[in-house]
Structure 1
Amino acid sequence: MQKDFHYYCIGVLAKAAGFSSKDALTIAYASQYVDDATEGTQIPVNAPNNIRIDPVRTAHKGLMWLLGAKWSEQKKVYIPFHFIPPLFYEPPGWGFGFITKPGSDFAKMLLKEACKGKKECKCWEPMIRDFKLFRLCRIGIALHTYADTWAHQDFSGRNDTENEVKGIYIYKKNKDKPSFQINLRKALPCTGHAEAGKLPDRAFLKWGYHSISHVDNSPRLNAEVFTEAAESIHRELSKVEKPKPESPNIPWEKIKEKIFEQFQYEGKDVDDRCDKWREFFINMFDDLDDHNKFKYNEEDWRKTALDTPKEEDYNWEDFSKTDRRWNRFTLKKEYFLSPFYHFHRAALLQRHFVLERLP
């Protein structure tokens, strides 16, 4: 799934499920930032005792995808955040497998854990300065993983032949017969859906493929799959205890067709599809005064936490671990109250929660 689902659709679903506009968009931002948190190196900052911020990488971009060949990255990044197994491991392990299944028990358990209140949450409280913000970040991160169980079904987060794609079928709009494509991505590691490219993540596509683990030759209509995921998320969020103030619940049947319509829209690119979501649903957030409301920018949360003399430093996707530009960052006074900080604390807790339940 891409930004159109992980931010825009999640924002709509959270608001419809009764969260306030501000809280719904915090959940949505955390959900999408899982795909943008590429900060996987220590950040030296001008702070007491020369501490280094050690963020939790939850994604790789560009050529960094090649790191997916390493088990250390698979178990720390891909499995806990994008390809959760359907069941947690219980010795001796009969029935356990890594291949992701939609709406699985493990994913539901993860989401339920993220929704827990302060009294139930098993976290190191002195490190959590704003529990409400921390909880919203946890919910958003868990929703990303939960939603991905639909888009990433039949793939796993490990490097294994179960992810090898033999052939790909893509159906053009309004066509019943597919065009056949030979897979040209054999140089990539068999981690996740690397060999299928972005096909599982694009909401409007109708496609299919052959693999060892995928024996169903029927076409996959992503719009229908994504709508099923959205319905399940709306149902799960509707059960969650909301922080005050709450918003009135909007029944799923009132938004179902509108959401399905957005998934079917191809547009020019993902940004065009996101603009369509914003145009269609922005009235849901009319109580917010911000002119940039319901608009995602991956640098926003970084700017709440860190200072740098150069604005372009916040776009750090191409920084290497030894890049000297990391040395330009300093902590803002509000760092330990920032959503950036609480996102990484929440991501760390989710990673541990999943890894503790793997073999």
Structure 2
Amino acid sequence: MQKDMHYYGTYVMARSTGISPIKAQVIASAAQFVDDNATKKSLEFKDGGALHSRASAHHAFNLKNLDKEDQRLIWVPFHFLPGNVAGGNFSKRLVCLKDSVLAREMVNNHLAQNEDFSDELMGVAAHVYADTFSHYDFSGISSRHNRIENDSFEFDLEKHKPETIKYIKKKQHDFMRNYPEDSGLIENIKSWFAENLSGALGHGAACTFPDRPYLKWRYIYEETGKHCAWRDNHATFLEGCEALHGMFVKYTQKKSGLTDRDPIPFNNIKNAVSEILAFEGPEKERSNKWIEAVSQKAIFGSNEPFPDYLGKEWLDKKAKMHGNDDSHGALNSPLYRFYQATSYHRHYVLRDLLPKKSLVVA
């Protein structure tokens, strides 16, 4: 998924459950920042303190420099949560499944935490949970199962406008031109298509077909030579929105001080959400549909401003913190709480959740 869902869609789902605008803004910003947190730069303070952060995404500007370990430490816990399919070998068990038992177990675990970083943690959970509704049937590690015949993509010609199909095919062509097989991507990460789907290779990558909420498409697996079932992104994204709404309802029930009004049942906003997801346009225009629904069309019953994404502000504050006299000030930063949340989530998934299912990934 892209920013239109990870920030704007997540904000609307959180706000519709009664979560206050400020809290919903932090949660949605954390959800999107999972994709934007792609650097490992550390901060040092004059009092001897330091803040070391790990990336939760990997934007591959130079594909030959990709770190294979990022598959296991970034893509698996944050973008392709394993589905643990019954009866499969290790590789098949790591394939992401939509709304899997493991995904719901992860959500319930995070809901039970009452740490200072719980809002940021729910944002991380929202990102990972939502991605299961777009990245399902792909794995976060190198796997033959992920390989797709590059010329096999089909799009529902009855559903989509001709200009949409033309735009999508151009995006695919641009990707293959910019990242040919000899770029090192195939060598270093065999599941080139899956890694591109994660968003960790950058939101500007061409083959982001699962990230487009309106698209209905299919392809042929290289390993079997068979078509996959038609992937109806609109239907699965709508399911994902309902799942996020339900998660946030549970969050308001477990933690006090979150809400400033009664929740709105998902069925009351379902048609409006469906209309937004069906819109065929680039990411920026899709994001504007969410903004319009809140600020102009009163999806919540009254018009209200749509708050800005906080990611840039967090990065600006991080840059200003470097070299400060006192490291204690970092503790009050939302960015520090985000790092606490991602550290907790990574450790929980790789050292607790997956090992309990006999999956040793990293």
Shift of 1:221: 1.9
Shift of 1:147: 0.7
1:183-206 deviations in Å (ceiling 9; x for gaps)? 946623333624662111111222
Moved more, 170-179 or 24-33: 170-179
1:220 is aligned to 2:220: no
Greater strand fraction, Structure 1 or Structure 2: 1
Q: Which runs of 4+ in 1 moved over 6 A?
A: 92-96, 176-183, 285-288, 327-333
- Counterpart residue number, 2:57: 59
Query: Which of 56, 63, 81 is matched with 1:84 structurally?
Result: 81
Moved more, 150-159 or 57-66: 57-66
Identity across the alignment (%): 26
User: For the aligned residues, what is the CA RMSD?
Assistant: 3.4
- Counterpart residue number, 2:338: 343
- Counterpart residue number, 1:48: 47
Paired with 1:348 and 1:47, the residues of 2 have a C-alpha distance of 24
Shift of 1:296: 1.9
- Counterpart residue number, 2:204: none
Contact 2:156–2:217 under 8 Å retained in 1: yes
User: What TM-score does the superposition give when structure 1 sets the normalisation length?
Assistant: 0.78
2:154 counterpart letter in structure 1 = Y
Alignment of 1:169-188 (within 5 A): 169-172=154-157, 174=159, 184=176, 187=181, 188=185
Paired with 2:242 and 2:275, the residues of 1 have a C-alpha distance of 14
1:218 counterpart letter in structure 2 = A
- Counterpart residue number, 1:320: none
Alignment of 1:77-116 (within 5 A): 77-87=74-84, 97-116=93-112
Paired with 2:242 and 2:146, the residues of 1 have a C-alpha distance of 27
Shift of 1:303: 2.9
User: What TM-score does the superposition give when structure 2 sets the normalisation length?
Assistant: 0.77
1:86 counterpart letter in structure 2 = G
Contact 2:21–2:307 under 8 Å retained in 1: no
Contact 1:169–1:209 under 8 Å retained in 2: yes
Greater helix fraction, Structure 1 or Structure 2: 2
Q: Give SS of 1:207's match.
A: strand
- Counterpart residue number, 2:123: 140
Contact 2:13–2:241 under 8 Å retained in 1: yes
Paired with 2:158 and 2:324, the residues of 1 have a C-alpha distance of 47
2:342 counterpart letter in structure 1 = A
Alignment of 1:1-359 (within 5 A): 1-41=1-41, 43-49=42-48, 51-63=49-61, 70=68, 72-87=69-84, 97-118=93-114, 131-132=115-116, 134-166=117-149, 167-172=152-157, 174=159, 184=176, 187=181, 188=185, 189-191=189-191, 193-194=194-195, 197-211=207-221, 212=223, 217-240=228-251, 241-246=254-259, 247-267=261-281, 269-282=282-295, 284=300, 293-307=306-320, 334-356=329-351, 357=354, 358-359=359-360
The unaligned stretches of length 5 or more in structure 1 are 119-130, 309-326
Equivalent pairs, count? 320
Paired with 1:271 and 1:161, the residues of 2 have a C-alpha distance of 34
Contact 1:227–1:260 under 8 Å retained in 2: yes
2:145 counterpart letter in structure 1 = E
**Distance of aligned partners of 1:66 and 1:87 in 2 relative to their CA distance in 1, 3 Å threshold:** farther
Shift of 1:24: 1.4
Q: Give SS of 2:220's match.
A: strand
Shift of 1:112: 1.2
